[in-house]
Amino acid sequence: MIRILDIAFKDLLQLSRDFKTFMFLLIMPILFTFLFGFAFGGFDSSASDSRLPVGYISQDDNWVTDSLHDLLSKSEVIRLDENLFRSPADLEKLVADGELAAAIIVPDGYGKSVLKDRTARLTVIADTGTQAWVTIEADLLTITGRLHDAVRTATIIDEIDSERMPFKYAFKQTLAAWDEPPISIKETKSAAIEKADSNSSALAHTAPGMMLQFAIAGLLTAAQVIVTERKSRTLQRLLTTATRRVDVVLGHFLAIFLLIFTQFTILITFGQFALGVDYLRVPAATLLVAFTAALCISALGLLIGILAKSEEQAITFSLVPMFVFAGLGGAWVPLEFTGKTFQTIGHVSPVAWGMDGFENIVARGLGFESVLLPAAALIGYAILFFVLAAWRLYVSQEK
């Protein structure tokens, strides 16, 4: 055990003197997290409104028309864009230029026509060939239908007992009833998902992605330590002592693991308190994913160091897996945005399992059980890479 710790301490001491290690493990992931975060709107604190902008002009002075305006203002589909100085010609131009999805003009006498149960028509300017118009038309028909139904209901009640329930009161009560229907569908979300949706959904993906990507990139310096040790024949001399091959392998592995796990700890802390990525929502789950991901990446670094015969090969063997694993594993673009086939192929990469584990906590609002499968997959990759590295070292020393 002492020999393993000595080898690990020696590697860490050598790595700490290399500025490239600091750059790849800490500076680069932070910079790229900010870059991708800005690109995907992770730092945009302005509230977004997904409703369709619709211009509005009223040429009618009637309380029924005011009620129509109130209904349109409460719409979850339409966002009224009003300007007292606009003319119908201005609205037509704005719709033609694509700045407005449609425009509504309430003609003079509209309210009186509704009250007298006559045909009342709104003037609507829109490109009827677009999907936006289909959505607006459906919502507009629903709103005007409620307005007409409220008038008819109030008329019937007024005819039956106008003293106990006057027309306007019955009209308002009928419209209010639509706000609290007897049956409604309510969608609920996890508190973690609502928090991510507010301002940091992009960072909830970008921060883990850059952390995993540059953990692999940082392996090039760790792999170079092993390459240098072999080229200087320090490894061969070490094996002539009482130090066993397994001690050498475990010593190098421990050094890389401590390096990567320290990187994860620092970046998780930075993401939690500086970027607002809620890693600590389920601390044990985040710790498990970070621990198993560090095991996997450390075993990969050990394999790269043993396979590479020169510093140039170590760089190539480190950067190629970084781009391949990160690209396939969804570190750049979420795999949810791709098809099922690419998602299946992507999970050949250990980065995809690491992303699943972190995103289940910080973005999807899931519990500890959700990281067990990703953690098991990362441990499986760690065992595979470690066994290959140990076998390769054994074979190379036998020759």
Q: Domain containing 68 — which CATH number?
A: 3.40.1710.10
SS3 state at 88:
helix
For tokens 């590295």, what's the residue? Answer: 389
SS3 content of the chain, % helix, strand, coil (to 5): 70, 5, 25
| 393 and 346 part of one domain | yes
Domains contained in the chain, number = 2
Predicted TM-score (pTM) above 0.85 = no
| 129 and 254 part of one domain | no
Structural domain includes residue 378: yes
Using the 3D structure, point to which of 122, 153, 179 is the last residue of a domain: 179
Q: How many helices (H) and strands (E) does the chain have?
A: 18, 4
Instruction: Give the range of the structural domain holding residue 234, as residue numbers without chain letter.
Output: 2-44+196-398
| 73 and 221 part of one domain | no
Strand partners, 80: 54
Cα gap 64→84, rounded to integer Å: 20
Using the 3D structure, point to which of 145, 179, 213 is the last residue of a domain: 179
Cα gap 269→75, rounded to integer Å: 42
Q: Is 300 exposed, middle or buried (0-12, 13-18, 19+ CB in 10 A)?
A: buried
106 Rama sector, left if φ>0, alpha if ψ -120 to 50, beta otherwise? beta
Q: Hey, CA dihedral for 141, 147, 149, 152, is it positive or negative?
A: negative
| 92 and 129 part of one domain | yes
Structural domain includes residue 184: no
| 69 and 164 part of one domain | yes
| 125 and 218 part of one domain | no
| 283 and 374 part of one domain | yes
Structural domain includes residue 6: yes
Query: Would you write out the chain's pLDDT as a tens digit for each of its 399 residues?
Result: 677 787 777 777 776 766 666 666 667 777 777 776 666 555 555 556 678 999 999 999 889 899 999 999 988 889 999 888 889 999 999 999 889 999 999 999 998 898 887 777 899 999 888 888 899 999 999 999 888 888 888 888 878 877 777 888 888 888 887 766 655 555 555 554 455 444 456 788 888 888 888 888 777 777 777 777 766 766 666 666 656 777 878 888 898 898 889 889 988 998 888 888 889 999 999 999 999 999 999 999 889 888 888 878 877 888 888 889 999 998 888 888 887 888 899 999 999 999 999 999 998 888 999 999 999 999 999 999 999 988 887 787 544
| 341 and 357 part of one domain | yes
Strands 52-58 and 78-82, bridge-based pairing: parallel
Structural domain includes residue 185: no
| 283 and 394 part of one domain | yes
Using the 3D structure, point to which of 154, 179, 204 is the last residue of a domain: 179
Structural domain includes residue 190: no
| 363 and 240 part of one domain | yes
| 160 and 237 part of one domain | no
Structural domain includes residue 186: no
Strands (E), 120-235: 123-126
Structural domain includes residue 171: yes
Structural domain includes residue 84: yes
| 39 and 75 part of one domain | no
